[in-house]
Amino acid sequence: MKYLFSFVFFFLFLVPTYVLSKNYNATYKIKTNGLLIGRLDWDLEINDSSYSLEVGLKNKGMLSVLFSFVGNYSVRGRIIEGRFVSTDYSQAWKTNKKKRDVGISFRDGGVLNLKQIPKENELLRIDLSSLADYSDPLTSFLKLLNGSSESKTIDGRRTYTLEFVEEDQKNKKYVVKNFSNLWADHKRNGLEYIYFKEGGNKFVPSSILIGFKGRLFKILID
């Protein structure tokens, strides 16, 4: 009887934790103007109450001689009533010309703290305490993949809203609206839209198209 009780305890309390935790991994190639410029690694873990996502970017292809880059993006958050809620976000971006690290902390639906290295010389032009229900870029993308029609986003340099505009054969397009720079006093916006096609799993799209400064970047599953 003691061994039966031990088995039942293991099954009820340990096995569900394992079953409810799911991993979604994928590797993508990044192209623009028909040229391969990099790769993207996607590592998502979701369980019943929390999630984590790691995204890595690395230059690849012939253009690497002229332009190299490495990017590491990470987020941890909670799942509350089926909604992805950011807790801590970080990004490290390095090219052959510059390097920048960003960290954002979220608490109770608001932005708690924003750090940048190197430190920004200008003063913030937006009161962070006024930003309610904002998410980091990774969490915003997860929310769109999960069926949200819009997501308010802060990425360390700017705030904007990704808003659903159309769908055609599992292709979903979101445009950038309500754009504001956190530091500079202008409304210039490089990011124009995001277009993704659903794959075999909703959290691993088969392709992502990004309109940025008039150019089209294609992120295709490898």
Q: DSSP states of 154-178 as a string? A: E-SSEEEEEEEEEEETTEEEEEEEE
Query: What is the arithmetic mean of pLDDT over 93-103?
Result: 94
Beta bridge partners of 22: 46
pLDDT tens figures, 41-71:
999 999 999 999 999 999 999 888 888 999 9
For residue 10, is pLDDT > 90?
Answer: no
Residue closest to 102 by CA, chosen among 77, 126, 119: 119
CB neighbours of 98 closer than 8 A, spacing ≥ 6?
A: none
- Give percent of the chain above pLDDT 90: 69
Q: Quick: pLDDT tens for 127-137.
A: 998 999 999 99
The pLDDT of 108-125, averaged and rounded, is 90
Res. 17: pLDDT tops 60? no
Rounded Cα gap, residues 207 and 194, in angstroms: 11
Query: How does pLDDT run across 153-188, given as a tens digit for each residue?
Result: 999 999 999 999 987 767 899 999 999 999 876 566
How much is the mean pLDDT over the chain?
Answer: 87
Cα–Cα distance measured from residue 119 to residue 109, given in angstroms and rounded to the nearest whole number:
25
List the domain boundaries for the chain: 24-221
